[in-house]
Amino acid sequence: MVRDIVIYPDKRLKLISKEVTSFDKELHSLLDDMYDTMIAKKGVGLAAIQVGVDKRALIINIPTEDSDDAEQPKENTLEIINPIFIEKDGSCKYQEGCLSVPGIYEDVERAKHVKIEYHDRHGNLNTIDNDEFLAIAIQHEVDHLDGKVFIEKLSYIKRKKFEKEWKKRDK
């Protein structure tokens, strides 16, 4: 089921999400709905708080190829619960967007390589070690769990420009 996306500057996007302790049906239907919502809005990642649920859960599904008919089959979805960074190093710049800030794309600097530990939907512990696009996506989504949106990483001048443009489109 597709849920509504929480749009910037909604205050819920500033919440620090809470650790998941039960890996139950409620979590599973949240994750299923997050997939439906991400696909409906043509995103590659979504954090639970973006559908208004303050749990430390996020999904990422990187399209199989970089084209308009790229596919994002459900079995390719990474479901990441209670992620913790074990390693985070290097730096790179990548143009990011966010379903909570639709239509805005800006370069953001992040670590090049990350290693995380996380639970899957059944509570099993897993790790991901990556230095490609997935590493960027993980950092973007984990920021949501900590109440941060990517535009907060922009320079002062770019941020001002963004806020001005964003207010204009509200009207």
Note the residues at the interface with Co ion (CB under 5 A). 98
3-state secondary structure the chain: CCCCCCCCCCHHHHCCCECCCCCCHHHHHHHHHHHHHHHHCCCCEEEHHHHCCCECEEEECCCCCCCCCCCCCHHHCEEEEEEEEEEEECCEEEEECCCCCCCCCEEEEECCEEEEEEECCCCCEEEEEECCHHHHHHHHHHHHHCCCCHHHHCCHHHHHHHHHHHHHHHC
CB of 45 to Co ion, least distance (A): 7
Based on CB atoms, which residue is closest to Co ion, 98 or 142? 98
Residue 100: CB minimum distance to Co ion, A: 5
> Among residues 27 and 98, whose Cβ is nearest to Co ion?
98
Q: Closest CB to Co ion belongs to which residue?
A: 98
106 is catalytic: no
Q: How far is the CB of 24 from Co ion (least distance, A)?
A: 26
Give the active site residue among 109, 141, 152, 165: 141
Report the catalytic residues. Answer: 141
